[in-house]
Structure formats: C-alpha cells, structure tokens
Amino acid sequence: MKKIAVVGAGISGLSMANYLEKHKIDYHIYERRKKEDLAGHGFLIPQEGMDYLYQIIDSELLLKHGNFLKKYTKYSHTGKVLAEKNLDHVFAISRHSLISLLTQNITPQKITYEETIIFDDLQNGKLKLSDGTDIHADITVISDGSRSRIRKNLFKDEMMRMVRESEVVNIIQNKEIANSIENDFMKFHHEDGGLTFGILKLSDDTVLWYSQFDNQKYMINECSVENLRKYMIEIFENWHPLIPEIIQKSDYKNVHLWNVYELEKLNPFYQENTVFIGDAAHPLIPFTSQGVTSALKDSLLLTKYLVEEENIQTAFSKYEAKRKPEIEVHINNGRILLNQFLLPLNQQTENILPISYK
C-alpha cells in the first residue's frame, strides 16, 4: 500500500490514522498546532458514530470517558418544560478525552506537531513542509478544518459565508452543579428566538455548556474574552437560576467563541492525489451534531476503498459518491434547524430534536 500524508490531527485526521493503523497502511500526520492546543470542548455523538468509534477504541475505555444522555428536554428561558424526547444512545464526551483516546494507538513518531503545510502554487500545488521540503507521499488526506487553507488554494472560486449564528462553548468542573443535573441534554430557549443555552453532563463533576446567539441581534462577535463573562451574565441574568450560576462559576481561560461558516456549495472531495475529509471536505453547522460522526464515517469509508481499489482515483470517486449525498442531507437539515432557532418560540416546530439524522 502507498504512503499517506495526513494534514491535521483533529478528530478526522486522528480517526483516519486509526483506520490506516488498523490496516497496517504507512502514514504520517502533520499538525500546525501544539499537542496541548487540541483539547477544545466537547461533542454529542449519536449511535452511528459510536459504532465507528468501537472499531478503533476499546468500548469499555471509551465509555469511561463520557456519558450517555437519556433525554432531550426543551425549556423556556425561565425553565418551563416545552417538550421532551428520549434519546437513543447519544453519547457526550469532551474533545480532550476523545483526542487522547484516538491518539493512544498512534506512535509519537507518526505525528509531527507545530508543522504548517505550505501549498506551492509555483509547483502546481505541491504540498511542502514549512522549511520548503517536499512531502513525499502518494496520497495526501486533508483534514485541516472547516476553513481549510489547502481547500481554498485548490478551489479558488469557493464561496464561504458566515452563518447567522455564533456560539460560546465552555466546560465547568463543579461537582455540586454536575450532581444537580440528570443525564439529560437540557436546552433553554428565549421566547423571541435566536438565543439558547444548552447543558450536557460529561461526568460526575464536569458539565459542558454552550450558548447560541443570533449574531444579527446580539453583538457577541465584538466581545473580547475579558468582556465575554460580563456580557454573558448580563444577557442571561433573568433566565433559570442554574444558567447564571453556571456562567458565573465557570473559568473563562479556555472559553471558545465560535463564528460559524459554511460553504455555499460543496467542492469536489478530491483532486488528483489529494482528498478531503471531515470539516475540510464539508463544514457542518453545529445544529446538526453530526461533525464527529461524519468525520469518522469519512475515514472509515475512505480507508475501505483505498484497501479495496488498486487505482487511487477509483477509490476517491467511490468515497465521494458514497459520502456527498448524505452530507448534503445533513447540510439541509442544519439549515432547517438554524431557521427554527431564529424564529420566536411560538412559531417553532414542537419537539424538534437538535440532531440531524439522515
């Protein structure tokens, strides 16, 4: 089997490496960030995604690092229950835990951190290391995120647009607050729409929380990290008491303000010997809760076709043909969920689950 270079050591890049490792295929990962910068926050993973993870991570070990959520409850901002729906094997896990689990099967010699890959226009788009050295690989798998520099260089006419939603995401370690929360997915909604607060219990002492803002109504994008806590306290002051308590007691050292972008139209998933996976191939807005599952499925199927097919282009073509239609369903579902989020509560569809299913 040919040598493969993987660009990006996030969820998609590491899952690709795990599947390659499983099939004893030679590879090397290049990541521009430091290892400790990959920690991040957390994910919701539906049953399908868990099935893919069980193929590359010991199930008992995986389940020790997260929490199955039993029920989704939709609340008004004051805490009135608006809708409830049982969840079928939806798993919540921190990004730090999932990154650590995916890294454990990869020898340190196969990952280079703090290495930015350069796209060389003068040499027909050849990829190079930051010192100008050529990358010697027969296949390059690009997994460098939703705003992929390499994708932008290959498909120069692509159009990305900012979505009418921004998110603040954080994790709080507080046993008292965690003990007060059931193993549920709780989401509070403002009656005028365009403002929510979600809570996921990750473990006995850890809670992930996130808030979603209509960025045309709320100037969240103009906040510095220093002013973010103050702004959040002001916005959510009169919500259910649990919410201002979480906001006030959280440490904002690692808070993440996420401005969400999407492609107006999907690009091809490959060109010549370069192929894209995860958010680099198809950015999904967060309403879908399908980012991790889609990245895992990309990695699984791409590896499968590379093993089965002698011709790289045939493998890439089969991968794109299999994945693109499903991704377009999730993109459409995400836009439906976004439009619901922007509506006043009394105009929203009842009991709509904030997870995209194909």
List pLDDT tens digits, range 5-34.
Answer: 999 999 999 999 999 999 999 999 999 988
Helix, strand or coil, per DSSP, at residue 50: helix
d(CA 29, CA 249): 38
* Pairwise CA distance, residues 119 & 155, whole Å: 12
Q: Tell whether the model's pLDDT for residue 122 goes beyond 60.
A: no
C-alpha separations of 294 from 49, 140, 297 in Å: 8, 19, 5
Based on its alpha-carbon atoms, the radius of gyration of the chain, rounded to whole angstroms, reads 21
**Could you report the per-residue pLDDT of 193-240, keeping only the tens digit for each?**
999 999 999 988 999 999 999 999 998 877 777 788 889 999 999 999
Per-residue model confidence as pLDDT tens digits over 272-328: 999 999 999 999 988 888 999 999 999 999 999 999 999 999 999 999 999 999 999
Nearest to 140 by CA among 312, 309, 316, 275: 275
Give the model's pLDDT for residue 38: 55
Can you spell out the DSSP letters for 288-318? G--HHHHHHHHHHHHHHHHHH-SSHHHHHHH
Q: Rounded to an integer, what distance in angstroms lies between the CA atom of residue 28 and that of residue 51?
A: 25
Q: What global pTM score does this model have?
A: 0.94
* For range 175-196, the mean pLDDT: 93
Coil vs helix vs strand at 63:
helix
Handedness of CA 142, 147, 149, 153 (dihedral sign): positive
The secondary structure element, H or E, covering residue 17 is helix 11-22
Of the ranges 125-129, 183-187, 274-278, which one carries the lowest mean pLDDT score? 125-129
Helix (H) or strand (E) holding 210: strand 206-213
